[in-house]
Amino acid sequence: MVFLEEIQKRRTFGIISHPDAGKTTLTEKLLLYGGAIQEAGAVKSNKIKKGATSDFMEIERQRGISVATSVLAFIYKNKKINILDTPGHKDFAEDTFRTLTAVDSVIVVIDVAKGVEEQTEKLVEVCRMRKIPIIVFINKLDREGKDAFDLLDEVENKLGLRVTPLSFPIGMGYDFKGIYNLWEKNIQIFESDQKQKIAKKIEYRSLNDPDLNAAIGQKSIDELNESLELVEGIYPKFDQQEYLDGELQPVFFGSALNNFGVQELLDCFIQIAPPPLAKSTDKRLIQPDEEDFSGFVFKIHANMDPNHRDRLAFIKIVSGTFKRNTPYYHVRHKKRLKFSTPNAFFAEKKEIVDISFPGDIVGLHDTGNFKIGDTLTAGEEINYKGIPSFSPEHFRYINNADPLKAKQLNKGIDQLMDEGVAQLFTLNLNGRKVVGTVGALQFEVIQYRLLHEYGAKSSFENLNVFKACWISTADEKNANYKDFLRVKQKFLAKDKRNQLVFFADSSFSLQMTQQKYPEITFHFTSEF
């Protein structure tokens, strides 16, 4: 009985957006309202050197962007909330796509001035494909931006969503007075302009309250009344089942920096968002309330603490309970492993947990047993699906800039590639190492982390490759296949799992090769 109650308490969700829409600030304010932190660190402010709680890698603090998914957990109103704060920058989209396999719902953050941007469109498309329930949070209302109704139209048209506002702004920019909560039918106005902590609020239950007139003025009340009539006439009524089925998306307005609209979002979220959901494997659908434990690795992070060279595998628990010091079955290695220090997270702060339930994210200390996509079970031979490596778009040779640190460089590359930051290929012809990434900025991150976390200097050299394709064939003894290996040998490499990869230098040469060798299949993801 306790087990089922614990499952119902869990809410695991991701926060996604285009860079700089205020995603990390929103994450931090959710923690503030959840009582997990007492004061927020202003992300962009140099006066407060703390930086945002969820951006704990040094390079993230310097650039003011998130480059890795952070896992944060806190309790709010007897619900255990697990937030996965994802990178917004397109160069780190692969990390975000993988994280979306571990969430049960998402919050999409949109900047009121910029509206729907390119990266948001791509990420929402992935969510819609997977039918993940979506809540939209329109942020930065303390700045001048687009009209609320225009924004709602844009969200519907560009993202292909069917929206219903559950809160509505009173004014915008300089005239911004607060948020009307349609979900609970009230208005809450802050008593002071305190951004770092939660200021006291005064709640008004009716728009006819004379005190409200004194606080925001009759003009604002009249405009709000008009807008609410329009909302009622145009948008569908909120239906929880439609939201859970991915067919209706509630919209909230607010200003995360100024704390407006955040509590309204959080209070509604814990009531409507789904508890842990069932997940597909290669054999069957696994339900969260099954007794036997199962989970999968969706992220690996080397050097959470650079002083200890520790490497953590992040596991999303899908079913059963995960207990400390209990042996579990590693499906790919076909062996049992025991974990004495499983961690729960609060950004870089970790605490050891004895038992975790479906929906929870657990960090396991790893000496190289795990890679992204691995499945752990109580003994069943299953594999969770949908966590591929994508074909990279940028390729460079990696060179050792300090011959005395070759060992450190090799270890660093090895660990960072296991994280899924990028992919490593070794050329068959001369054994040179090639790094492939989805975005060019990742090369900077790799170089920075190799130097600061492993003490290894590296340099990159351009390589003209259009696409990397994984190769498979039904018959390796086929003469045509052998001819392919001979003719294309300088374009062939092995990935970290020793799978054969073909480097095409242009779309034309890829097309020609595919036509010349029809018995060979060229794959654009490693999961085939």
Question: pLDDT for 89-107, tens place per residue?
Answer: 454 456 667 778 889 999 9
Homologous superfamily of 279-377:
Translation factors (2.40.30.10)
Tell me which of 3.10.20.600, 3.40.50.300, 3.40.50.720, 3.40.630.30 is the CATH number of domain 2-272.
Answer: 3.40.50.300
Span of 72-76, 252-256, 302-306 with lowest mean pLDDT: 302-306
Residue 344 has a pLDDT of 82
Q: Residue 302: pLDDT band by 50, 70, 90 thresholds?
A: low
What is the mean predicted confidence (pLDDT) over 385-395? 71
For 420, the token pair is 């899924």
What is the mean predicted confidence (pLDDT) over 51-75? 56
Strand ranges across the sheet with 178-181 = 167-170, 178-181, 186-190, 201-204
- Is pLDDT of 449 > 80? yes
- Is pLDDT of 68 > 50? no
Give the integer Cα–Cα distance in Å for 35 and 79: 13
Q: Residue 235: pLDDT band by 50, 70, 90 thresholds?
A: very high
pLDDT higher for 193 or 420?
Answer: 420
Question: 3-state secondary structure string, 229-277?
Answer: HHHHHHCCCCCHHHHHCCCCEEEEECECCCCECHHHHHHHHHHHCCCCC
Residue 396 has a pLDDT of 92
- Is pLDDT of 78 > 70? yes
Span of 342-351, 356-365, 458-467 with lowest mean pLDDT: 342-351
Closest to 365 measured CA to CA, from 417, 306, 299, 314: 314
Residue 228 has a pLDDT of 86
CA 409-412-415 angle, to 5 degrees, is: 150
Residue 134 has a pLDDT of 94
Domain spanning 394-523 has what CATH number? 3.30.70.3280
- Is pLDDT of 502 > 50? yes
**Residue range 459-483, pLDDT digits in tens:** 999 888 888 888 988 888 888 888 9
What is the mean predicted confidence (pLDDT) over 204-212? 72
Buried b (16+ CB within 10 A) or exposed e, 319-344: bbbbeeeeebbbbeeeeeeebeebbb
- Is pLDDT of 194 > 90? no
Span of 248-262, 304-318, 417-431, 498-512 with lowest mean pLDDT: 304-318
For helices 262-272 and 23-33, the axis angle rounded to 10 degrees is 80
Residue 243 has a pLDDT of 94
Q: Domain coordinates of the chain in residue numbers?
A: 2-272, 279-377, 394-523
**Residue range 6-23, pLDDT digits in tens:** 999 999 998 888 877 787
Which of the given ranges, 4-13, 48-57, 189-198, 336-345, has the highest pLDDT on average?
A: 4-13
What is the mean predicted confidence (pLDDT) over 297-323? 77
Listed in sequence order, the residues at least 6 apart from 331 whose beta carbon sits closer than 8 Å to its beta carbon are 374, 375, 376, 377, 381, 382, 383
**Amino acid letter, 49:** K
- Is pLDDT of 44 > 70? no
Which of the given ranges, 47-61, 196-210, 366-380, has the highest pLDDT on average?
A: 366-380
Q: Is the pTM of this model over 0.85?
A: no
What is the mean predicted confidence (pLDDT) over 355-380? 88
When the pLDDT of each residue in the chain is averaged and rounded to a whole number, the result is: 82
What is the mean predicted confidence (pLDDT) over 400-412? 88
For 142, the token pair is 């303390």
Span of 42-51, 167-176, 285-294 with lowest mean pLDDT: 42-51
What is the mean predicted confidence (pLDDT) over 295-317? 74
Residue 324 has a pLDDT of 92
Which of the given ranges, 15-19, 122-126, 284-288, 365-369, has the highest pLDDT on average?
A: 284-288
What is the mean predicted confidence (pLDDT) over 195-216? 67
Looking at the DSSP bridge assignments, the partners of residue 164 are 250
Q: Do domains 2-272 and 279-377 have the same CATH topology?
A: no
Span of 107-111, 112-116, 345-349, 368-372 with lowest mean pLDDT: 345-349
| Phi and psi torsions of 309, nearest 5° | 50, 35
Q: What is the DSSP letter of 292?
A: S
Residue 249 has a pLDDT of 94
For 24, the token pair is 């990390």
**Amino acid letter, 33:** Y
Q: Over pLDDT 90: what percentage of the chain?
A: 28
- Contact status, residue 287 vs residue 279, Cβ threshold 8 Å: no
Q: Over pLDDT 70: what percentage of the chain?
A: 84
What is the mean predicted confidence (pLDDT) over 491-512? 89
Give the integer Cα–Cα distance in Å for 278 and 524: 28
